[in-house]
Structure 1
Amino acid sequence: MSTINSKIGLLMVFFCLAFVSFANAQQRGGEQKEPPTYAKLLEDMDANEDGKLEESEVKGPLKDEFTKIDTNEDGYISEKEFEDAPKPSGKRK
């Protein structure tokens, strides 16, 4: 009888852990982040605080697409260039 109770207890613990893990994964996956504003990017990335974003200061997808976004090829991404830039498609990693 105690073997059966032990198995049932272990099974209940397993299902509880599985449920908590699943619920936690669902909660994190459902969060949608808003894209950053140009002002937020300046705040986070403008290392020399000149009010401009140059290629050496940016990181992530913005750095990968710098030449496409810098349409006037002046070496900086202006607010207008940032606003006119194509938005990434698909899910983020």
Structure 2
Amino acid sequence: MKSNMLKLLIVLMVSSFVSSCKSTNETTNSKARGKGNQGPPNIDQIFETMDVDKDGKLSETEVKGPLKNDFSKIDTNSDGFLSKEEIEKAPKPNRQRPQQGRRQ
């Protein structure tokens, strides 16, 4: 009986270890493929996420973040929408990384 319990415990520990290794590997692979939180999204990703009505342009009500903050600057033809071309030509937002504290 003790032998069976010991075997069961070992199987559970091994399976838990394998599962955690698989999860870590999947996370690493998805980041290597550019998924996750790696840098700013590309134009197609922006439109896929924000273009709610799927008309191929972004209205001020559809956008958020830096696009919303600078909407009138990016909307160079003043038609009330952002095209892919206007976004491509837009100045990139000034993204500063947070300063890390010094270790003493």
Give a deviation string over 1:19-74, Cα, whole Å, max 9, x none: xxxxxxxxxxxxx7322111111110111111111111001111001000000001
Is 1:56 matched up with 2:66? Answer: no
Report how many residues are paired.
62
What's the Cα RMSD here? 1.8
Match of 2:80 in 1: 75
The aligned amino acid for 1:87 is K
Q: How far, CA to CA, are the matches of 1:92 and 1:49 in structure 2?
A: 33
Q: How far, CA to CA, are the matches of 1:41 and 1:53 in structure 2?
A: 10
Match of 2:91 in 1: 86
Q: Identity rate of aligned residues, in percent?
A: 53
CA offset at residue 92 of structure 1?
Answer: 5.5
Match of 2:101 in 1: none
Is 1:40 matched up with 2:45? Answer: yes
Q: Unmatched 5+ residue regions in structure 1?
A: 1-31
Match of 1:65 in 2: 70
Q: Unmatched 5+ residue regions in structure 2?
A: 1-36, 99-104
